[in-house]
Amino acid sequence: MAPVPNRPSTLGTPRLGDWTMATLRFRGGKPLWGGVRVGGRKNAAVAVLPAALLASEPVRLDNLPRNVDVATSIALLRALGARVVRDGRGAVWVDGAGLARTAVEPMLAGRLRASAYLLGVLVARCGEAEVPLPGGCDIGARPIDQHIKGLRAMGAEVEVAHGIVSAKAARLRAAHIYLDVTSVGSTINLMLAASRAEGVTIIENAAKEPHVVDVATLLQAMGVPVVGAGTDAIKVRGTAVAHGCEHVIIPDEIEAATYLIAAAGTAGEVTVDGVIPRHLEPVSAKLREAGVEVQEWGEAIRVRGPLRPRAIHIKTLPYPGFPTDAQQPMTALLARADGASTVTENIWEDRFRFVEGLRQMGARIRVEGRTARVDGVARLSGAAVDATDLRGAAALALAALFAAGETELRRAEHLDRGYEGFVEKMTSLGADVRRVGADGAHGPEDLDRDGAERLDVEHGAEPRRRAAAAEG
């Protein structure tokens, strides 16, 4: 068997060029019926991948979604010298033993907000890090000042110059950190840094989102004591050595919410499987308020949509409030509700850019600051519209399913960042949608070979040992 492949430090995300400027073409007005299964949570996956570098042994990750953000995360790790392979059972192994660099590839970092997690990981493990200011969706100011504040409290010297964040620390020390704002990114980053710090670090006003808990679960499996994840105070006892482990990534409740809302808006009936219903309670509650029938059991949720939803009011809040990532798809649903709704976005100030696309489809929406007034219309009409960001693309795709006639959604490659097999799953539910790219049909289904190179290994075997045996 061939050894685990080494990748050059300049590796980019393969085949991303094929996915740029993609277009989805819809013929709307058809109810969605059937069942669909969601994959692993994207926001958890892009955090646990860098977290795995803290271990001295390989880490096995199950339920890792195949999307562009995950492929970019894998490319970032490989560019640093880590080995990332997919075994014959679909799991992904991360082996950071060969980590050779502490400077993160700028081109890749510019594509992904989660590249900031490498700041905490690299300074904790290697004593230094150079990470470009992260990219991601353009939905408003996304500073990393709380990340920097926490690292400085743990004894790191941190400077920001020419778009690069540089951090150095011979050894991080425990600190009592109060976050000025509840931030998922800074909570996770400081947990990762604290895992190697001397003593017990306390993070107060911490984020409570499920993927924060998922990262804490991984750290615990690696031998790092973490207490309080899911509350506003998290304690992390640093350890000099973290060991390898196996970890299953939690289901993606935003992907699930997207399909639930799609079914509700088409007056269809869809069962979404492989979910944790508790994580979806804010969305389920608002769907019920809008007149949607919602049933929950085990790891599944079924919705049955009315002919026309009722108008409701939504305010996004940190978990367990209504999630900001579900706001845009829900706004698309309310565009055809009976009555006037209001949507207040309390997390990101520039998350209504997609509204112009809805207006082109006949929606009556007026945005004033962080609040959108949505006067529902009986019917949306197909149009040619442009996606502006990941969840905005999802909102316009749902509106295209709700609308009469044909819709052309341009810049649909935004969907690839957070959804695996979006077109295929929607088609399986009866949607009339197809994808076209610059030179034909393309999509993130190629990520099995491009995002994480396959390597057939025995179940439970660890790649580095098998590679050594193959070489010997």
The residues carrying an active-site annotation are 137
Residue 298: partners with Cβ closer than 8 Å, 6 or more residues away: none
Taking the chain, what is the end-to-end CA distance rounded to the nearest angstrom?
A: 11
Q: Cα dist. 437→68, 234, 394, 399 in Å?
A: 15, 45, 18, 21
User: Which pair of tokens denotes residue 120?
Assistant: 């905490």
Q: 214-235 burial, b if ≥16 CB within 10 A, otherwise e?
A: bbbbbbebbebebebbeeeebb
Q: 3-class SS at 113?
A: helix
- Among left, alpha and beta (phi > 0; psi -120 to 50; other), residue 339 is left
- Residue 88 class from Cβ within 10 Å (0-12 exposed, 13-18 middle, 19+ buried)? exposed
Bridge partners for 27 per DSSP: 406, 432
Cα distance between residue 253 and residue 41, in whole Å: 7
Q: What are phi and psi of 142, to 5 degrees?
A: -135, 70
Cα distance between residue 446 and residue 101, in whole Å: 28
195 contacts 238 by C-beta, under 8 angstroms: yes
Cα distance between residue 172 and residue 149, in whole Å: 13
Strand 300-304 and strand 269-273: the pairing is antiparallel
Q: 3-class SS at 230?
A: coil
Cα distance between residue 111 and residue 138, in whole Å: 11
